[in-house]
């Protein structure tokens, strides 16, 4: 979900809309509605929970312990291009286990979505 300027908010689902695939992320950062100042982009996915609802950390596990109010603050969206997109719990981001076939939940995982997608298609064809 890249915005016009190339900003992408890791872990944010496309259903959240907005620039960067994330509600409130614009040129100035996150928020800036009403009297609330915008968080700078550097504060998004910086592994520190700045917002009480965890909305600034969709791509890390920093806010994983918050009470579940919305899917956005407890779930991480795996795009998994070439396979099936899915959600994982934010607590599984950065835990050393590759949960997303695109590797987006860990810094060291390789993208295996094309292989996974082909295997799923072959399985469906056999049934």
* 122, pLDDT greater than 80: yes
Say if 30 falls within a structural domain.
Answer: yes
The pTM for the full model equals 0.64
Distances (CA, A) of 78 to 44, 85, 87, 107: 17, 6, 6, 14
Q: Does residue 19 lie in a domain region?
A: yes
Q: Which domain holds residue 80?
A: 14-126
Task: Name the domain count of the chain.
Answer: 1
- Contact between 7 and 29 under an 8 Å Cβ cutoff? The reply is no
Which H or E element spans position 117? helix 113-126
- How sure is the predictor about 44, in pLDDT bands with cuts at 50, 70 and 90? confident
* Mean pLDDT on 7-28: 53
84 within some domain: yes
Q: At residue 24, does pLDDT exceed 90?
A: no
| The predicted structure's pLDDT at residue 28 | 47
**Cβ(87)–Cβ(100) below 8 Å:** no
Query: Is residue 32 assigned to a domain?
Result: yes
pLDDT digits (tens, 9 = 90+) for 94-110: 899 999 999 999 989 99
**pLDDT above 80: residue 64:** no
Within-domain flag for 74: yes
């Amino acid at each position: 979900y890249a915005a016009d300027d190339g900003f992408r908010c890791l872990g944010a689902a496309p259903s959240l809309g907005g620039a960067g695939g994330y509600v409130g992320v614009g040129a100035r950062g996150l928020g800036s509605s009403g009297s609330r100042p915008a968080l700078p982009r550097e504060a998004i996915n910086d592994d520190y929970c700045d917002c009480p609802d965890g909305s600034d950390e969709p791509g890390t596990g920093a806010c994983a312990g918050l009470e579940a109010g919305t899917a956005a603050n407890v779930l991480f969206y795996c795009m998994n291009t070439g396979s099936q997109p899915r959600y994982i719990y934010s607590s599984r981001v950065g835990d050393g286990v590759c949960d997303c076939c695109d590797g987006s939940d860990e810094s060291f995982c390789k993208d295996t979505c094309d292989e996974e997608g082909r295997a799923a298609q072959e399985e469906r064809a056999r049934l």
